[in-house]
Structure 1
């Protein structure tokens, strides 16, 4: 190749030393003057730098959750609500001009996988916070990783006591103990015999102990006649149902995951009919999906059974928060459910922290959240301080009528 020419793909430092002003370069479509080529290369460098700045300017939020196991459908609903709010914020310019990006990984409800995902998100993705972890065991595993790295965990989908004791974790939903307290107050209006169905894990066992303690201390009108346990993955609960019905309780507090609660509720109705015994009222926590159970089991099983909820009725425009949520769901063409309402509200808390943080670094977010105090979301209040990571205390008890309409 003659010295006055260079290949089009040669790096700038090559042709800069081999060409002089006035010489030409070969390129597709003809010849370029060297000065033109310098401007062209400068434009490329500028564009690449701009893209790099844009990528670096995103606020990265990490998530590990169960998207493929028993809680998969619920987490997809939660994320639909969360992303609806995040997309709304991004569409309005983001947070201080920066777009929020949620990086979600599937852990299949396995604690070890959740911890592995958390390390990947913190060490390799360099996320500012972790968000929307599902379940007590996975959340506790993630918290250990997050505490070691000093990264905040925002809005875990669990009401376990442990999340309120972690220095880096900021729950949004009310605790399971708050849900249980609402059930006990409702039951205690008259002398009542109850039974406990207890999932044999970190979710069920501590709550059963809490119920026993509260009944002994505060709710003397309640008598616990039976406590039966089951494995978390069990779907055949015939023995547990038979044992409970033999003691003829008026109510059962079912401390179970959604799948097991469905199986239990179906079996209670079947055995009660067969034995001609009265069917006890079944109380379930917010981790059960009242609408999914109604769809799968029908009104005979669900109607009249109370379910605790940790948010106001999402269908009723009684507050600025629900009005805003309903408008957003309508615009996104998504169904209105408690689950995606929780995702929407959780993302709203996340964005509030990001908006107030001076740096959006993990340390900046931790300091911001601990200094947030009481924050009104528009009819729902969360509270955080250096010694109180309570979040919300809101609990409601609802059921469905025979037509699937919500009843308080």
Structure 2
């Protein structure tokens, strides 16, 4: 037998032995009766395939309808559809910490360079959150309205031109261009430029989508992440990112130098980066360069896609339901809302608010579970005992 054949045979033997051991452990575990696809008992590959197909949200709903409140989607990975579990697992002060899946969202191999999304340690996450909590207060968020208003004007101009020419447009792509420029403007005081020609500037949308997909997949095989990252680097797939370059340039410039004023030119509006730099200047020992870069990049990464997805869902649902669309138009006409309304004005539109919330319920911004680990000692969730991660070792 040749060396290559021996290696292949050994690999097959190890793989089969792994599956046999996994089945044996599963047969005596507390969760052996939890239903799910056969392959989900053996390997993460079944769940990975659903993720790649892009329809796991639909598959998961079907699984729950067929098999009940708790279903297995991978070895030691379970999905729950019991609303009573939400506060227990995701509530403030929960003992259910983020799973190792989140490590895939850190900077390359260095798992210490975390961000608010990827940080798994509750104490470190709380400390990081406190640094930027004021940046996301309602008062601060509404102060960004002039940045949003500028993007709305550009977006409407494109819509008017498309409407007058009766040309078909890819509205999902357009709202993504709008969302990216809004988040860029709010964060840096400078638009990326997507709204100029409704094009993906420097492939930022494409690359961010690819990075998000890769992190989602790699998170299922986190032990292999260092090897996967090295392979991707050798293949030239981890080149300089335009978003990181954009952020770094603005940080080095010391933030936006452009003055943005309100309608009456009374209040100066400062983008988020400027606020972060001012906070670092006021308390240099509290903020690091990484804190600033991680927060501005995360702000764009997390805020752009979710905003675009939500807007696409709103457009889809209201135009799929003519009666809803007409009732919305009637409410806006009676209220006498301006072409570009204030946030405070929209809070006085009950039907509009109900439609937004229903659209987000029907189509949330993420279709993947946000995995958490069962605390040490195990726990009973929705009537089922789950051992902790320590019990599996």
TM bin, normalised by shorter chain, reads: under 0.3
Higher RCO (CA < 8 A, seq sep 6+): 2
Larger Rg: 1 or 2?
1
Specify which structure has the higher proportion of strand: 1
Specify which structure has the higher proportion of helix: 2
Give the TM-score normalised by the residue count of structure 2. 0.26
